[in-house]
Amino acid sequence: MDRSSEIGVVGLAVMGQNLALNFARNGFRVCVYNRTPERTEAFLRDRVRGEPIVPAYTIEEFARCLERPRRILLMVQAGPAVDQVIEALLPHLEPGDLVMDGGNSHYADTERRMQWLADRGIRFLGVGISGGEKGALLGPSIMPGGSPEAYAMVEAMLTRIAAQSEEGPCCAYMGRGGAGHYVKMVHNAIEYAFMQGIAEVYDFMKTALGMPTEAIAETFERWNEGTLNAFLTELAARVLRYRDPETGDPLVERILDKAEQKGTGRWAAQSALELGVPTPTLTVAVLARTLSHFKADRERIGAAFPWPDRRTPSSPEAALSDLEAALNLVVLAAFSQGLWLLHEASRAYRYGTDRAEVLRVWRAGCIIRARWLGFLREVVREDPEDPHLLFSARFRAELQARLSAAGRILREAFEAGVPMPALSTAADYVLSMRRSQLPANLIQAQRDAFGAHTYERLDRPGVFHTEWLD
Ligand SMILES: NC(=O)c1ccc[n+]([C@@H]2O[C@H](COP(=O)([O-])OP(=O)(O)OC[C@H]3O[C@@H](n4cnc5c(N)ncnc54)[C@H](OP(=O)(O)O)[C@@H]3O)[C@@H](O)[C@H]2O)c1
């Protein structure tokens, strides 16, 4: 088996197993290695059915079984595990070999590892992969970043195993350095916002409109036929339809309302704050998950804080079309904010990311695949240098058509005691970005009054300070 495998996969949890099978199904010879040998054995026993996959039980054996230059994909837990695996691999690698990290690593870690390996003549790519278990097996969306030379070593392989859309394979070079992981991080932040928006309209239908779970599922199914056609819309419907085999009730109604997170949404929010890019809808989706964790506190406060909590007087029919418009607004605002963040990050970190290509790669295979992506790509291509989409007349028209409906939903939600932070921030984002005059003048005046922080004037250039309190 020496030197015969075209690709090596390290880490055989959910993603590694399915990607290894995907490579093999596409005709590539694969060598697999996992720290715990029992997992490798179980994989071969339970899932490998004659595909060209060979196991290695030591790192030495793994390095020996790969063609030179080696191509290795790490699919281990993000964080210190990636460094530990690289450390173990290093003595067995040679200059010219390529290591790819396909996990959800932080883009700054990716840049550090790239430098670390470059010093030893070894190439490194940070590869964002989206699509979960099924995507990994049948065709994920792949976002590789690093040097173009390193990408050229695996382009043919990655584009073969990626999801295929009408616009080509859902894998493209995302730019230099940590660009691949940065793009994946923004993808996840948009995913958080989209899911938060879905959760909010579900809450509105349940609480404000008093709709049963089945009817809510039906509504998502209907919406999935229109502009909201998206993996997450369809998934919401399917999850809502699922009945608990034990109780016969919709399982979703039995699930504890505390949302978990693994870090990519938070990293996106942190990066946006550092770069000075306003991404309120992406950020609030992270905060909403955090807030959900305080269940005991919420119960205690809720018991002592009366609020109408009543159903809205509107008929479901009237409210549902507004609600559909409102969710569309959340989705459009989330993409606009995410693309702005990508623009600024690409400039600040010199990634050279082509956002039209990003949108093309998100067309299929990934969690945020949605009908809107084709339109968004056209908008970005109108002027690729525009930071966000709001400079486009076509994009603004889509927002404008939905803003009043969002406002009506927000008013009713308030009366019904339904919090809608993603929708509120989406609407506020649009309202703020269309205001040439914001009240930041008063903030500047106060800053100058208490801290002599100075201010600029509308009517003449320069920096001014006033003794306000004399
Ligand atoms: N699950 C998804 O849907 C999904 C989607 C996209 C991206 N990702 C990302 O893809 C990566 C893999 O995800 P996953 O869900 O398949 O697996 P995971 O649960 O994140 O990680 C488990 C794998 O990491 C290995 N590992 C952990 N610590 C290690 C160490 N110190 N040294 C060597 N190996 C170590 C484990 O080996 P042992 O068997 O020896 O413990 C196992 O193979 C993660 O970065 C994840 O965030 C996941």
Reply yes or no on whether the pLDDT at 338 is more than 70: yes
Q: According to the model, what pLDDT value does residue 311 have? A: 76
Q: Half-sphere exposure of residue 428, counting CA atoms within 13 Å on the CB side? A: 13
Ligand 1 centroid, distance to 178 Cα (angstroms): 19
Which stretches of 87-245 are assigned E, i.e. beta strand?
98-101, 123-130, 141-145, 164-165, 168-169
**Residue 165 Cα to chain centre, angstroms:** 19
**pLDDT at 49 (0 to 100):** 95
Given 184, 200, 357, 398, the catalytic residue: 184
For this structure, is 191 an active site residue? Answer: yes
Residue nearest to atom 27 of ligand 1 (CA): 77
Mean per-residue pLDDT, 178-198: 98
pLDDT at 399 over 90: yes
Tokens of 233: 């819309």
- Say if residue 196's pLDDT is above 60: yes
How is residue 335 written in tokens? 């993409």
Q: Atom 9 of ligand 1 has which residue's CA nearest to it?
A: 103
Supply the mean pLDDT for the chain.
Answer: 97
Distance in Å, CA 373 to ligand 1 centroid: 29
For residues 303-317, average pLDDT: 81
- For each of the domains in the chain, give its residue range(s) and CATH number, in order of start: 7-177 (3.40.50.720), 184-433 (1.10.1040.10), 439-470 (1.20.5.320)
Q: For 360-369, what is each residue's pLDDT tens digit?
A: 999 999 999 9
Please report the pLDDT score of residue 1 as a whole number: 57
pLDDT at 3: 78
Select from 307, 291, 320 the least CA-distant residue to 408: 320
Q: First vs last Cα of the chain: how many Å apart?
A: 85
- List all residues whose CB is within 6 A of at least one atom of ligand 1: 11-16, 34-36, 39, 75-78, 81, 84-85, 103-104, 129-130, 132-133
Predicted pLDDT of residue 16:
98
- How far apart are alpha carbons 203 and 324 in whole angstroms? 13
Q: Is the pLDDT of residue 310 over 80?
A: no
Cis peptide before 306 (omega within 30 of 0): no
* pLDDT value of residue 316: 81
Residue of the CA atom closest to atom 23 of ligand 1: 76
Please tell me the predicted confidence (pLDDT) of residue 109: 98
How far CA 5 is from CA of 71, 162, 355, 384, in Å, comes to: 9, 20, 34, 40
C-beta separation of 166 from 254 below 8 A:
no
Query: pLDDT tens digit string along 129-149?
Result: 999 999 999 999 999 999 999
| Ligand 1 atom closest to the CA of 78, numbered from 1 | 45
**Bridge pairing between strands 71-74 and 53-56:** unpaired
Span 336-357, average pLDDT: 98
Q: How confident is the model at residue 344 (pLDDT cuts 50, 70, 90)?
A: very high
- The Å distance, Cα 104 to ligand 1 centre, comes to 9
Rg of the chain over Cα atoms, rounded to whole angstroms, equals: 25
Residue 184 among the catalytic residues: yes
Q: From atom 46 of ligand 1, which residue's Cα is the shortest distance away?
A: 103
Kindly report, residue by residue over 22-65, the tens digit of the pLDDT. 999 999 999 999 999 999 999 999 999 999 999 999 999 999 99
Note the pLDDT tens digit of each residue in 92-134.
999 999 999 999 999 999 999 999 999 999 999 999 999 999 9
